[in-house]
Structure formats: C-alpha cells, structure tokens
Amino acid sequence: MLPTPDTDHIDPNTTYSPAEDSYLVLDTLTSDAGFLHSHFAPPSSPPLILELGTGSGIISAFISTNTTALFGRADVHLLGTDANSIACAATAQTLSLTPAPSHFLGALVADLAAPLRDHVVDMLVFNPPYVPTPELPSLRAEHGATEFEEESRLLALTYAGGEDGMEVTRRVLMGLGSVLSQRGVAYILLCRSNRPGEVVEGLRGQGWRCEKAGGSGRRGGIERLEIWRIWR
C-alpha cells in the first residue's frame, strides 16, 4: 500500500477534509498504475499533471510522493488549482510536509483550468463538488460577508454541484478537448446523482474513450461513487 499524505494541519472550517471520495481517487490511481506506466513510458517528455480543486492537497501530495510507483518515472510536473485561497495554502503546506520526488509547481487560486494554455495538461484529476443543489456558490468572497457567511461559501464550494450535481464537472468535460494534450488523460469522479451512464454515453459520442477506473460505496448493487478515465 502506498503512503497516504498527512493533512492533520488543515482547518476543516475552511478546507475540505479528505473523505471517502478523496481516498477513492488515491486507490483508483494506485490500481490504474499499469495504464499510467505504459501511457507515460519514458523516453516521452515528463508529464504535466493538473489537479483541479486540490482542497487539502491530499491527492496532489499522494501523486507527488508516489510518482515512481504510479508512473514508473520521477520526472513528473504537478500543478493544482482551487477557487478557495485557503485551500491553496493548505495544499502548499501539505506538499511541503511530503517527501516529494516530483516537481510541485504550486497551487493557483483559479477557476478550474482557466490560467493554463491550451493542450498542455497530460493528466487531469478532479474530485469535484458533485452534490445536486439549487445553485452554485460565488467563486469570490462577497463584500462585507461575515466570517460565518464566508465559511459557509467555502463549504458550499466543496460540495455544491448545481443541477444534477454536474454544473462544475460539465464545464470541465466541455473544456477537456482544449485542456488536455494529445496524450492527455483525465480522472474524474462522478456520483450516482450525476447520471454517470448518460455522461459517459455523451463523451463517447464525442469520440472520447471512457473506462471506469474505480468505484465505491455499493448500495443495492449500484456504486455510489465512480471514477472514470477519459482519454482520446
């Protein structure tokens, strides 16, 4: 079993505490190492990995510290983004506490992959806000908000996915063709309310290859959380 990064230092009032979904991403990447080894086999150029919504940084730190086990190479570049600046600081701290053989470029306060040039990301990982909600929180602090209101907004950013819980994830999927490089691959978590069957059918219809790489929380024979590998 690969070591899990320590995130005890994070403040759960302002940053997402690692939960079942976070650990499912770690397990899925571990079990998909065979694919990653052959997909990014040297002597190809070092892959650039982007984690969207880093939160505590547990996933980025896990990737960073286990690059050789996951990719069969240590020359991996890693970048994160989160709309929550406190989460970005927590990510940087988690990475600083992690013995990291890969090059961590930083965690940017940003909306999804907005700061990046097109076609530079070789692997994208996203554990999104996926719970169906009537609306999405603002990406920025409201002027004059109380501490309680600001913490409520940051909490909502971690889970509120709007219609079908898909409003944030849908934006990522619609931008995949621009964000990913030719060899790019995405790992995206979907929950049952996101209608993963329809989502995957739509992606396949656009020419993407999709394979379920991980799943958890079986209820009545149906998996509650699924992680899909999406690539060209």
Question: According to CB under 6 A, which one of 70, 87, 107, 121 is a site residue for ligand SAM?
Answer: 87
Question: According to CB under 6 A, which one of 14, 64, 67, 81 is a site residue for ligand SAM?
Answer: 81
Which segments within the chain are labelled E, that is strand?
Answer: 48-52, 77-82, 103-109, 121-126, 180-191, 209-219, 222-231
Question: According to CB under 6 A, which one of 65, 127, 169, 194 is a site residue for ligand SAM?
Answer: 127
Q: For the CB of residue 51, give the shortest distance to ligand SAM in the complex, in Å.
A: 7
Q: Please give the residues from 154 up to 183 whose contact with ligand SAM meets the rule CB under 6 A.
A: 157-158, 168
Q: For the CB of residue 109, give the shortest distance to ligand SAM in the complex, in Å.
A: 9
CB atoms within 10 A of CB 18: 22
Question: According to CB under 6 A, which one of 29, 52, 63, 210 is a site residue for ligand SAM?
Answer: 52
Return the range that interacts with ligand SAM (CB under 6 A); candidates 33-41, 126-134, 176-184, 195-203.
Answer: 126-134
Return the range that interacts with ligand SAM (CB under 6 A); candidates 49-57, 61-69, 196-204, 221-229.
Answer: 49-57
* CA atoms of 133 and 16, how far apart (whole Å): 18
Residues 34, 26, 60, 209: what is their CA dihedral angle, to the nearest 10 degrees? 50
For the beta sheet containing 121-126, the strands, ordered from the edge strand earlier in sequence to the opposite edge, are: 103-109, 77-82, 48-52, 121-126, 180-191, 222-231, 209-219
